[in-house]
Structure 1
Amino acid sequence: MTEKRFTSSGIEIKPVYKGEGSEQPGEFPYTRGIQADMYRGKLWTMRQYAGFSTAEESNQRYHYLLKQGTTGLSVAFDLPTQIGYDSDHELAEGEVGKVGVAIDSLKDIEILFDGITLQNITTSMTINATASILLAMYVALAKKQGADLKQISGTIQNDILKEYAARGTYIYPPSPSMRLITDVFEWCSSELPKWNTISISGYHIREAGSTAVQELAFTLANGKAYLQAAQSKGLDINVFAKRLSFFFNCHNNFFEEIAKFRAARRMWAHITKQLGATDPSAQKLRFHTQTGGSTLTAQQPLNNIVRVSTQAMAAVLGGTQSLHTNGYDEALSLPTEEAAKIALRTQQIIAFESGAADTVDPLAGSYFIEELTNNIETAAQIYIDKIDAMGGSVKAIEQDYMQQEIAASAYQYQNEIERGERILVGVNKFVDEEAHLTDVFRVDDSIRIHQIEKLKQLKEQRVQRDVDLLLADLRVAATGSENLMPHILRAVEAYATLGEIADVLRTVFGEY
């Protein structure tokens, strides 16, 4: 039993408030939350997203965040890593370490997590096309640390469908990409049972300009496609669906965002049940939230602290399991240490000072919230039915349906801003003539030279014959139908690079 909670006036706060016959948290269809006690039992994970420059520099930021009280790591990778190129590739020029950390081999992962025991921390990795390779590197390091792989926990984003629909960091065509994803599902179910094998992501769909309803609909439709792909491979939904998680955006419309999260849980519970899930853990939608990057303004950037605070509060009131809060300066650059600390303190103030965590689903029963939840569900279901009629998400993406819907919404939003029909404080109303922030974070282009030197040393020190044999084995396996994860793991353990492994798969699968 959790300890009693009181308001500042000494009034006792019950764990749950409900009307007669109303839904109970922790019970199907989970509109009010996936746990009966929610944050009374355990707070959300405060997972700050970080990664830039070299593994050495990112490692220092991780140690800083852990000292400030972050409870989970979240790794951002640079663009070459995301699309399967080593730092010495000609296409990597100008991009190494810019939007995330550069990872070329297991050696970089060893440096990235130096001084961090993987068994004692949960790690989320925002990587998709090369997710299987990065997961293999993480597992290889855990093995070197002597970890029990059955206890390793974290999340790999591994969501390629939203890359085709909204973000663009894909490598291979949809069919072999889906194979890699289901290979990760299958391998982790036996080797890494506590690992979340996919984070089905609406975040980037929203960043590309979708509405809240489109974000919800397209994300759940993609989730449904992953369930069906895994089932077609013979996997048991009651096993693998427990390890699926979601990643949502949280924007400025406070009540719409809360209702979106409530509707998401209810809709996913029904989708999984329709596809045969009978285990409650396989029916529950667990999700991470990040505040809206595209809502941040370069004008009057300190206003972003308020935006991030209200978005974070909406995510908490909506029942998120994990939360990242953006730095106020991220419209200008990667966050400085000061901005990252304020972002983390925002979560800590909500958790320990606001009272939002004292009772489950505090806004349940509000006429507005309940009707808005129903309206969002109805509107999202219309989209899902349309996608189902097309043959599912893969077909809808191939027909450019999702992309066109997102683009139309983004265009409408921009027009509303420019016509003044939608107010953006500091941008089209309450505008100041002001000095810009001067303390912004910059990544030096010289780090590419550093990464190239590390690659050169690595190739001189590794046993090249072993690497060649293991890459040849991977190529043969890719032409067949066996699970590729064991082959990728053996290759990274021999210090084959990310680019070498991705290139082997390019020769077999082709590029999209």
Structure 2
Amino acid sequence: MPGRSGRGRARRVTPTESNGAGARETESGLPLDPAYRAGEPEPPPPGEFPFVRGVRADGYRSRLWTMRQYAGFGSAEQTNQRFHYLLRAGQTGLSTAFDLPTQMGYDSDDPMARGEVGKVGVAIDSLADMETLVHEIPQDRVTTSMTINAPASILLLLYELAAERQGIAAEKLGGTIQNDILKEYAARGTFIFPPRPSMRLVTDTFAYCAKRLPRWNTISISGYHMREAGATAPQEIAFTLANGIAYVQAAIDAGLDVDAFAPRLSFFFNVSNDFFEEVAKFRAARSLWAGIMRDRFGARDPRSLALRFHAQTSGATLTAQQPLNNVVRVAVQALAAVCGGTQSLHTNSYDEALALPTEQAAEIALRTQQLIAHEAGAANVADPMGGSYLVESLTGRLVDASRELMDRVEELGGAVAAIEDNFYQRQIQDSAYRHQRLVESGDRVIVGVNRFTETSQREVEILRVGAELEEAQVQRLREVRAGRDQAAVDRALAVLRD
């Protein structure tokens, strides 16, 4: 794997030199000394290869990160109302959560969908639902991210058709579809087809968007879900970038020029509790990806080399016990994402360990980003943690640890083969087990869970999605079917099958 071009690492001070006490480690298990001091030369400035310090020279001075709160529940109408509420509150982009039936390609009246309609996201069965979802949303001015994978191409087409009916041309649409099927096999589970046929759907979407939707990010290569499942920071970097390599190679094998599609690749990372490790993680990922794209794939466009990413605070770190503590956890994680140079950010709501967010909880989550942007000073300079002896050391060590794991994936034949061999899954499960043992032993403190606990819990408001929602959604679907030209549907399906 490519090296850390142009950047050195800080030298660790030994415990003897600093009169340190016992050993400590990061959340991912990297050992820490009591103090660090300057070592090798600093990395190149922000905006320069290999983009350790960020993809833009001025950081957020000319443009803040997009505040993109993940939202979706119940019906398209309910989610549309939440979208408008968030936009009025100052959100600058949309992010759509779909329910499990939609993610798995089931209609809401399918027996497999029973009990899940609208529960963890919005139910979308038809173009009519999509039109309701984006009602009075200026699709040519507000970018939309859609967390959808196996049926990503279908949901993207519905979004494009809804815009067309508003008189908005496809080339004016901006946004992202997740479209990252590989991590579904490793961590999340919402896949429909086997890995290799699914890769064709992914790369076909690359080609379609290059022709029809030039402003659309065709994939969000995701480490988030693997981290939530238990992966460490090095595993999150390594497996995400290894998946990225597989997608790029598949697109090239399909005849696409790397610089024709690579500038529209994007990534999606978790932000966990260890502030300094998380900042270093984003810096390490940018450095590695820039080298991969230049040295392995011969990309020449600087935009192809720059790793752009969306970040979301860690849902797995939120606790049902003392849920208001989650406000603080989210704030620390969000600050790490900003100091690490994210391009867009979702901050989780404090009640998400209990239920879908209420409006009040969602507003506090958004206000957290706004406070960081406008009061904390974190957006005033690019890479504000650059030069920290600890952060520079962790950046280098994360590059090394991630590269070692990526080499192991390569030895197995690449990401698809490694997933089929259960390599990712075993690594993540082992890390999750280690974390849980540390929590249960008390060696890893979770405030309000295994230390500083309370015998009584304060009640918080809970958002509930009732059974009547499913009945109403199924009825809407029946009306769509009753009102369409079934003969035309049958002809179109026959053409598709042929």
TM (normalized to structure 1)?
0.88
Q: Which runs of 5+ in 2 are unaligned?
A: 1-39
- With 466-475 and 308-317 compared, the bigger mean Cα shift is at 466-475
What SS is found at the alignment partner of 1:124?
A: strand
2:325 counterpart residue number: 303
Return the offset for 1:149.
1.5
Distance, in Å, in 1 between the alignment partners of 2:495 and 2:470 is: 30
1:191 counterpart residue number: 212
How many residues are aligned here? 458
* Structure 1 residues 252-271: aligned runs within 5 Å: 252-271=273-292
Alignment of 1:334 onto 2:390: no
Distance, in Å, in 1 between the alignment partners of 2:358 and 2:177 is: 25
Any conservation in 1 of the 2:235–2:405 contact (CA below 8 Å)?
A: yes
Return the offset for 1:152.
0.8
Q: Specify the code of the residue in structure 2 equivalent to 1:201.
A: S
Q: 2:432 aligns with which of 399, 410, 415?
A: 410
Q: 1:350 aligns with which of 355, 363, 372?
A: 372
Alignment of 1:459 onto 2:481: yes
Q: Specify the code of the residue in structure 2 equivalent to 1:392.
A: G
Return the offset for 1:437.
2.6
* Structure 1 residues 382-393: aligned runs within 5 Å: 382-393=404-415
2:453 counterpart residue number: 431
Q: Specify the code of the residue in structure 2 equivalent to 1:333.
A: A
* Structure 1 residues 109-120: aligned runs within 5 Å: 109-120=130-141
Distance, in Å, in 1 between the alignment partners of 2:397 and 2:62 is: 30
Cα deviation code 1:350-409 (max 9, x no counterpart): 000011011110111111111110000000001100001111000000000000100010
Distance, in Å, in 1 between the alignment partners of 2:467 and 2:192 is: 25
Q: 2:190 aligns with which of 155, 159, 169?
A: 169
Return the offset for 1:20.
8.1
Q: Specify the code of the residue in structure 1 equivalent to 2:412.
A: M
Q: In angstroms, what is the RMSD of aligned CA positions?
A: 1.0
Q: Specify the code of the residue in structure 2 equivalent to 1:456.
A: R
What SS is found at the alignment partner of 1:248?
A: strand
Any conservation in 1 of the 2:109–2:474 contact (CA below 8 Å)?
A: yes
Any conservation in 1 of the 2:43–2:53 contact (CA below 8 Å)?
A: no
Any conservation in 1 of the 2:322–2:457 contact (CA below 8 Å)?
A: no
1:140 counterpart residue number: 161
Alignment of 1:46 onto 2:67: yes
What SS is found at the alignment partner of 1:246?
A: strand
Cα deviation code 1:69-107 (max 9, x no counterpart): 000000000000000000000000000000000000111
2:80 counterpart residue number: 59
What SS is found at the alignment partner of 2:467?
A: coil
Any conservation in 1 of the 2:42–2:387 contact (CA below 8 Å)?
A: no
Q: Specify the code of the residue in structure 1 equivalent to 2:303.
A: S
Cα deviation code 1:299-343 (max 9, x no counterpart): 000000000000000000000000000000000000110000000
2:490 counterpart residue number: 468
Cα deviation code 1:186-208 (max 9, x no counterpart): 00001100000000000000011
Cα deviation code 1:474-510 (max 9, x no counterpart): 112xxxxxxxxxxxxxxxxxxxxxxxxxxxxxxxxxx
Q: 2:146 aligns with which of 125, 128, 135?
A: 125
Return the offset for 1:436.
4.1
Q: Specify the code of the residue in structure 2 equivalent to 1:236.
A: D
Q: Aligned in 2, Cα 1:22/1:384: closer, same or farther, shift over 3 Å?
A: closer
Return the offset for 1:446.
1.7
What SS is found at the alignment partner of 1:155?
A: strand
Cα deviation code 1:149-207 (max 9, x no counterpart): 11210000000000000000000111211111001000000110000000000000001
What SS is found at the alignment partner of 2:176?
A: strand
Return the offset for 1:148.
2.2
Distance, in Å, in 2 between the alignment partners of 1:309 and 1:70 is: 17
Return the offset for 1:461.
0.8
Q: Specify the code of the residue in structure 1 equivalent to 2:370.
A: Q
What SS is found at the alignment partner of 2:60?
A: helix
Q: 1:222 aligns with which of 235, 243, 250?
A: 243
Distance, in Å, in 2 between the alignment partners of 1:386 and 1:115 is: 49
What SS is found at the alignment partner of 1:40?
A: coil
1:422 counterpart residue number: 444
Distance, in Å, in 1 between the alignment partners of 2:43 and 2:482 is: 66
Return the offset for 1:466.
1.2
Distance, in Å, in 2 between the alignment partners of 1:178 and 1:450 is: 35
Alignment of 1:35 onto 2:56: yes
What SS is found at the alignment partner of 1:74?
A: strand
Q: Aligned in 2, Cα 1:318/1:107: closer, same or farther, shift over 3 Å?
A: same
Return the offset for 1:21.
7.0
Percent identity (aligned): 60
Distance, in Å, in 1 between the alignment partners of 2:43 and 2:452 is: 44
Distance, in Å, in 2 between the alignment partners of 1:75 and 1:419 is: 38
2:26 counterpart residue number: none
Return the offset for 1:22.
4.4
1:317 counterpart residue number: 339
Cα deviation code 1:196-247 (max 9, x no counterpart): 0000000000011111111111000001100000000010111100110000
Q: Specify the code of the residue in structure 2 equivalent to 1:170.
A: F
Distance, in Å, in 2 between the alignment partners of 1:40 and 1:327 is: 27
What SS is found at the alignment partner of 1:181?
A: helix
Alignment of 1:204 onto 2:222: no
